[in-house]
Amino acid sequence: MRLLHTMLRVGDLDRSIGFYTDVLGMKLLRRKDYPDGKFTLAFVGYGDESDHAVIELTHNWDTKSYDLGNGFGHIAVAVPDAYKACDAVRARGGKVTREAGPMKFGGSVIAFVEDPDGYKIEFIQKG
């Protein structure tokens, strides 16, 4: 078994694709409209779905936003330098919600950014 994807419901698909590709550097792997169901699926990631876990962005055509609730936490991404990754996100118009620095009660350097729908992405410095 392996993890295939994480699904996020998004209000504006093009805005979300732009964030994940332009700000976080992922690739749009595939996108398909389902007119009978009135939704579109787009898959983004750092590598091909055959080898990597990816993110499925689901856009229901008649829903502009979602209540994120309090059950979902975040998606984590390994980065070589969390400080530089935050600078790059800001330079591309993204929102940093927790600056890079040591994790409280631990030694890892982490940071958090937020996508256009409010989902949190954690950067964990590796290497």
List the catalytic residue out of 49, 56, 114, 122. 122
Strands (E), 10-72: 27-34, 39-45, 54-60
CB 57 within 8 A of CB 45: no
CB 115 within 8 A of CB 106: no
Average pLDDT for runs of 10 along the chain of length 127: 92 98 97 97 97 96 92 94 98 97 90 97 93
Instruction: Please report the domains of the chain, with CATH numbers, ordered by start residue.
Output: 5-60 (3.10.180.10), 75-125 (3.10.180.10)
Q: What's the pLDDT tens digit per position in 108-122?
A: 999 999 999 999 999
Beta bridge partners of 77: 123
Biggest CA-to-CA distance, the chain? 50
Query: Tokens in use for 69?
Result: 């609730």
Instruction: Based on the residue annotation, tell me whether 56 is a catalytic residue of this protein.
Output: no
